[in-house]
Amino acid sequence: MAGVKTDQDVITYRAAVAEGIAREMRRDPSVVCLGEDIGGAGGVFKTTAGLFEEFGPGRIWDTPISEQAIVGAAMGAAMTGVRPVAEIMFSDFLACCWDYLANEIPKVRYMTGGQVTVPLVIRTANGGGLGFGAQHSQAVENWALTIPGLKIAAPATPADVIGLMASAIRSDDPVVFFEHKGLFASKGPLPPDDHVVELGKAAVVREGTDVTLVALASTVHTALAAADTLADDGVSAEVVDLRCLIPMDLTTVLASVGKTSRLVTVEENPHQAGWGATLVSVVVDEGFELLDAPVRRVASANVPLPFADALEDEVIPTADKVVAAVRSVVNY
């Protein structure tokens, strides 16, 4: 098995990345991986540990330090029958290959009338909270959200890493797969071998009646921590893990808001043009009469992320910030 499990039934988030890829590589010989240091080194975050040893250099390709080369090669391979899983080491570096990601990859299927598909996955380590500074800590899911033709997954748990990875690799459309750096050491149950999570299917990870908290990736855990605090005050918060931004499961969100009548989004994107703005606009368009209070968004501040831990904590969402936002809508 690729990666290292902590025991028979538990796996870390980082090991789940390698495990999810390995399961699909065993199932489908057309799946290959490429990226910087993903071979013998096992990846800079050890998220590809064990893959080179199991599948060898014919299917695990170490590349030069060139995001354009990695994504360009992956695109060409995908157009000719291979299913590449390409790694961009930090999501901030998607900017280096943005022409491929925004102008080329998502347009091919449409421009060829469906004659050519681009079944590739672009994996990348995303998000802050570890003090990596302004150029290595951004949460950039909202960059990809602006591009029609891309699917976007961002798991919060090891089981969802494996299940969403399966769906992403099997998809005939390109998927950007955001792995949160702050979750790599987290642990969770190891899912069964046939575990697949449908792209675009959100999960209600905590039931509640007073307010809906919608979150993604690391902010799911932030929302759950806030819900624990709120419960001590008699406020019942329902937490929805979106899992994906495209497709976005607004049916589950609207059903939850219909039950609670209040909505708070929790997102690591900057407040300006974050994914919460898109979600809120749809809720207001399609479910305004469900609401008993204004919607609130808890998001990162519109500033470059500081290097200092204490300053970074001031910028990104925290449980305390979520609790304050919930109290404002519950007491409205």
Tally of structural domains, the chain = 2
Domain identity same for 80 and 177: yes
- Name the token pair of 190: 């190891």
CA pair distance 116, 113, nearest whole angstrom? 8
Angle at 176 between CA 249 and CA 214, to 5 degrees: 30
Q: State how far Cα 72 lies from the chain centre.
A: 22
In the chain (332 residues long), the average pLDDT of successive 10-residue segments reads 58 98 98 97 96 97 97 97 97 96 97 96 95 92 96 98 98 98 97 97 98 98 98 97 98 98 97 96 97 97 92 94 97 93
Which positions ≥6 away from 131 have C-beta within 8 Å? 137, 307, 308, 309, 312
CA pair distance 159, 190, nearest whole angstrom? 6
Position of tokens 């681009």? 118
Query: What is the reported pLDDT for 1?
Result: 47
Query: What is the reported pLDDT for 131?
Result: 87
Is 67 one of the annotated active-site residues of the chain?
Answer: yes
Domain that includes residue 309, residue range = 203-330
Instruction: Point out the domain boundary residue: 189, 211, 240.
Output: 189
Domain identity same for 181 and 215: no
> What 8-state DSSP symbol labels residue 270?
E
Domain identity same for 316 and 216: yes
Domain identity same for 141 and 49: yes
Domain identity same for 46 and 159: yes
Give exposure, 9-28, as e/b (b: 16+ Cβ within 10 Å).
Answer: eebbbbbbbbbbbbbbbeee
CA pair distance 242, 152, nearest whole angstrom? 11
Amino acid identity, position 167: S
Residue 195 inside a domain? The answer is: no
Query: What is the reported pLDDT for 66?
Result: 96
Query: What is the reported pLDDT for 196?
Result: 98
CATH number at residue 286: 3.40.50.920
Residue 76 inside a domain? The answer is: yes
Query: What is the reported pLDDT for 309?
Result: 87
Total residue count of the chain as it appears in this document:
332
What is the model's pTM?
0.95
Residue 6 inside a domain? The answer is: no
User: Is the previous residue joined to 119 through a cis bond, with omega within 30 degrees of 0?
Assistant: no
> What 8-state DSSP symbol labels residue 65?
S
CA neighbours closer than 13 Å in the CB half-sphere of residue 72? 9
Residue 130 inside a domain? The answer is: yes
Residue 198 inside a domain? The answer is: no
Which positions ≥6 away from 95 have C-beta within 8 Å? 143
Domain identity same for 234 and 322: yes
SS3 293: coil
Domain identity same for 242 and 324: yes
Is 136 one of the annotated active-site residues of the chain?
Answer: yes
Residue 304 inside a domain? The answer is: yes
Domain identity same for 62 and 163: yes
Residue 236, φ and ψ in degrees, nearest 5: -100, 110
Domain identity same for 160 and 228: no
Domain identity same for 29 and 171: yes
Cβ proximity of 280 and 231 under 8 Å: no
Query: What is the reported pLDDT for 2?
Result: 52
CATH number at residue 82: 3.40.50.970
Residue 93 inside a domain? The answer is: yes
Q: What is the CA radius of gyration of the chain?
A: 19
CA pair distance 48, 42, nearest whole angstrom? 5
Instruction: Point out the domain boundary residue: 156, 189, 222.
Output: 189
Residue 112 inside a domain? The answer is: yes
Instruction: Point out the domain boundary residue: 189, 223, 256.
Output: 189
Domain identity same for 29 and 141: yes
Query: What is the reported pLDDT for 6?
Result: 43
CA pair distance 17, 118, nearest whole angstrom? 21
Instruction: Say which of 19, 24, 36, 67 is annotated catalytic.
Output: 67
Domain identity same for 99 and 216: no
Query: What is the reported pLDDT for 145?
Result: 96
